[in-house]
């Protein structure tokens, strides 16, 4: 596809030109058009059942009695897809009682990939507003400990309110710059790094992201993400797991961060336990790591009907 065609698509769908040009370069013209079309369709809402408070079947029944159309998500034990929404999912009694959180399907795979156990010491490096922290706590049955870090005091307040609503009891929240995490000398069994990103995967929820970010934002985010993953790996115990995720489609924020970690630190990639999504992009820049990059996962709006999402699971090796 010529640059002129990419410009045409960008104008037709309301994107910054550089974004569409890059997508054509990374995934080809056919997939790019499919992606732009899929981004026009609203996401079917999905929720994460809070098993600290209720079983999936009981929640499904309660919501159905209120007129919601509810279907299980086949690959997620505690995920439900909401096909019909008579009123806002954030305004039900069940929501206020903390029986569920609003979560994208691909986001729910993050917690499954970290698979934290009851007695473990877990750190959520970029935790607010706490949706994934809640999922981790319920997988740990409120046992063990989670240190939930976020740089934003305002967002931490939201995290604390969400945790209280959902009956989570094994979390301590702190306002801190996670880039300094290793200085805390707090060796973690498992770390979640759900990194800040440019968010081009969530255009279906926030169409302003078609044009609100520039190439320099992607580069700046990529720098911060490298600092965050370095701090995470340094603060992880040997043999510990770190899950890296973003809701961005940009390779500089995804595969490039994993490639940087593999080249710089004693870590190896591990396959996520749920075989959903596509393998990460294998671009020539990361030639020597191409085969490894297959173990990362990408979720695409046009292929998986989810938000755009990336997950990489790293294990820290013994030196």
Least separation in angstroms between residue 103's CB and ligand SAM is 8
Residues 232-291 touching ligand SAM, rule: CB under 6 A, are: none
* 196 is a site residue for ligand SAM (CB under 6 A): yes
Indicate which single residue of 5, 56, 179, 205 sits in contact with ligand SAM (rule: CB under 6 A): 179
* 178 is a site residue for ligand SAM (CB under 6 A): yes
Indicate which single residue of 132, 213, 297, 302 sits in contact with ligand SAM (rule: CB under 6 A): 132
Of the candidates 220, 200, 201, 221, the one whose C-alpha atom is nearest the C-alpha of residue 212 is 200
Of the candidates 199, 171, 269, the one whose C-alpha atom is nearest the C-alpha of residue 229 is 269
Indicate which single residue of 123, 131, 311, 314 sits in contact with ligand SAM (rule: CB under 6 A): 131
- C-alpha 283: how far from its chain's center? 22
Indicate which single residue of 7, 62, 155, 205 sits in contact with ligand SAM (rule: CB under 6 A): 155
Task: Tell me, letter by letter, the H, E, C secondary structure of 153-218.
Answer: HHHHHHHHHHHHHCCCCCEEEEECCHHHHHHHCCCEEEEEEECCCCCHHHCCCCHHHHCCCCHHHH
Pick the closer one to ligand SAM by CB: 24 or 80.
80
* 205 is a site residue for ligand SAM (CB under 6 A): no
* 311 is a site residue for ligand SAM (CB under 6 A): no
Q: Is 126 a catalytic residue?
A: no
**Distances 55 to 49, 80, 186, 241 between C-alpha atoms, Å:** 7, 12, 34, 28
* 160 is a site residue for ligand SAM (CB under 6 A): no
Q: Is 27 helix (H, G, I), strand (E, B) or coil?
A: helix
DSSP of 46-113: EEEE-TTT--HHHHHHHHHHTT-EEEE-TT-TTEEEEEE-SS-TTSSHHHHTTSEEE--HHHHHHHHH
Phi, psi for 309 (deg, rounded to 5): -150, 155
Counting residues that bind ligand SAM (by CB under 6 A) gives 17
Radius of gyration of the CA atoms of the chain, in A: 19
Least separation in angstroms between residue 149's CB and ligand SAM is 5
Indicate which single residue of 3, 40, 64, 177 sits in contact with ligand SAM (rule: CB under 6 A): 177
Indicate which single residue of 126, 163, 203, 243 sits in contact with ligand SAM (rule: CB under 6 A): 126
Pick the closer one to ligand SAM by CB: 5 or 205.
205
* 150 is a site residue for ligand SAM (CB under 6 A): yes
Catalytic residue among 126, 166, 197, 247: 247
List active site positions.
247
What are the residues binding ligand SAM (CB under 6 A)?
A: 126-132, 149-152, 155, 177-179, 194, 196
């Amino acid at each position: 596809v010529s640059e002129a065609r990419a410009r045409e698509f960008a104008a037709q769908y309301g994107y910054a030109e550089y974004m569409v040009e890059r997508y054509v370069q990374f995934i080809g013209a056919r997939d790019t058009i499919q992606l732009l079309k899929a981004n026009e369709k609203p996401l079917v809402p999905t929720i994460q059942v809070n098993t600290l408070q209720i079983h999936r079947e009981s929640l499904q029944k309660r919501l159905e009695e209120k007129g919601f159309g509810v279907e299980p998500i086949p690959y997620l034990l505690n995920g439900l897809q909401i096909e019909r929404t008579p009123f806002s999912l954030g305004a039900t009694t069940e929501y206020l009682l903390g029986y569920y959180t609003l979560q994208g399907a691909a986001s729910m795979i993050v917690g499954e990939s970290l698979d934290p156990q009851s007695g473990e010491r877990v750190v959520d490096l970029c935790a607010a507003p706490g949706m994934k922290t809640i999922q981790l706590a319920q997988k740990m049955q409120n046992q063990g400990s989670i240190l939930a870090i976020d740089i934003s005091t305002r967002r931490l307040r939201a995290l604390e309110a969400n945790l209280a609503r959902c009956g989570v009891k094994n979390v301590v929240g702190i306002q801190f710059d996670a880039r300094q995490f290793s200085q805390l000398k707090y060796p973690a069994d498992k770390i979640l790094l759900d990194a800040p990103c440019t968010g081009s995967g969530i255009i279906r929820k926030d169409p302003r992201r078609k044009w609100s970010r520039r190439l320099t934002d992607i580069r700046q985010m990529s720098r911060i993400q490298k600092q965050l993953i370095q701090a995470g790996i340094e603060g992880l115990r040997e043999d510990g797991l770190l899950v890296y995720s973003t809701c961005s489609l940009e390779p500089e924020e995804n595969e490039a961060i994993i490639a940087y970690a593999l080249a710089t630190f004693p870590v190896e990639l591990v396959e996520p336990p749920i075989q959903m999504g596509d393998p990460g992009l294998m671009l020539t820049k990361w030639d020597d790591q191409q085969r490894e990059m297959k173990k990362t996962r990408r979720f695409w709006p046009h292929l998986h009907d989810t938000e755009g999402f990336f997950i990489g699971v790293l294990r820290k090796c013994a030196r």
